[in-house]
Amino acid sequence: PRVGIVVVAAGSGTRLGAGGPKAFVGIDRHSILRHALDGVFSAPSAQVVVVAPAGREGDARTEAIEAAGDRADLVTVVTGGTTRQESVAAGLAALWGDVEVVLVHDAARALTPPEVFSRVIGAIDAGAAGAIPVLPVIDTIKRVSGDEILAAVDRSELAAAQTPQGFRRDVLDAAYAAAIDDFTDDAALVAQAGHAVSAVPGHPLAFKITTGADLDRARHLVGADTA
Ligand code: C5P
């Protein structure tokens, strides 16, 4: 396939406090990872690399094969690292030779609708080196140092970054090869390497499940019986 999707699912889930890796926590009868993969497989035929926590590779494969249906041959599972960036690098190393466009997606953004994937792929196909979904910032934002307010920040210049983040494969590979700092997203790394990254509209449902309140929201949205 021309497109490869790296799904990073190797986080510890410390902030969720569910007592295990976040990707395997249930939303309804399906896990966070399974929901994320259902969205991923809505994209046209792509290689799907699942980056799993060490020791949970078999569980990740089972979930991916189920989500893949008749496209199980497109699934690759690799072991993640201690940071997100290391996990992405492990996923990139497993991409097949024919992949030209790479999407990097947080499994924790489990309810991301298919249209966000197609917008990102569309922007790359239209010539962008990289494209990421963003949403306007709703809160008023301050720059702070401890308890001191240093400055107000003009909200109209800000956007919240989501995933999937898409890149030309040659650009992302080179940015990872040159990476010095640890970044929390791939667009920052590609920007440091000197490439322009475009913004496409994100989606409220692409929110990241981080805290217990986020998990409650996800459960409510899928109509899970949480009683
Ligand atoms: O920690 P955070 O919620 O920002 O992580 C975003 C995504 O990166 C999650 O889907 C998580 O599983 C993944 N991750 C990873 N390897 C790590 C840390 C985070 O795959 N070491």
Q: What ipTM was reported for this prediction?
A: 0.97
* Residues 85, 176: Cα–Cα separation, whole Å: 9
Question: Across all residues in the chain, what is the average pLDDT?
Answer: 94
pLDDT tier, 44 (very low <50, low <70, confident <90, very high otherwise): confident
21 CA: nearest ligand 1 atom? 12
Burial class from Cβ neighbours inside 10 Å (0-12, 13-18, 19+) for residue 100 reads middle
pLDDT for residue 212 is more than 70: yes
User: Residues 70-93: what's their mean pLDDT?
Assistant: 96
The pLDDT value given to residue 87 = 96
**3-221 — its CATH code?**
3.90.550.10
Residue 227 pLDDT > 60: no
State yes or no: pLDDT of 110 exceeds 60.
yes
The alpha carbon of 195 and the centre of ligand 1 are apart by a number of angstroms equal to 24
Q: Is the CB of 88 under 6 A from ligand 1?
A: no
C-beta of 105 in contact with ligand 1 (< 6 A): no
Centre of ligand 1 from the C-alpha of residue 110, in Å: 12
Q: Where are the domains of the chain?
A: 3-221
Question: Which burial class, exposed, middle or buried, applies to 151 when counting CB atoms under 10 A from its CB (0-12, 13-18, 19+)?
Answer: exposed
Q: What is the mean pLDDT of residues 179-193?
A: 89
Query: Measured from the CA of 10, which atom of ligand 1 is nearest?
Result: 20
| Ligand 1 mutation target, pool 27, 37, 84, 111, most atoms within 8 A of CB | 84
* Residue 85 Cβ < 6 Å to ligand 1: no
**Ligand 1 centroid to residue 208 C-alpha, Å:** 10
Tell which residue, 204, 217, 209, 162, has the closest CA to residue 18. 209
Ligand 1 pocket, 107 CB below 6 A?
yes
**Quick check: CB of 106 below 6 Å from ligand 1?**
yes
Q: At what angle do helices 32-40 and 114-125 cross, to 10 degrees?
A: 50
The pTM assigned to this predicted structure is 0.96
Per-residue pLDDT band at 84 (split at 50, 70, 90):
very high
CA-nearest residue for atom 6, ligand 1, is 106
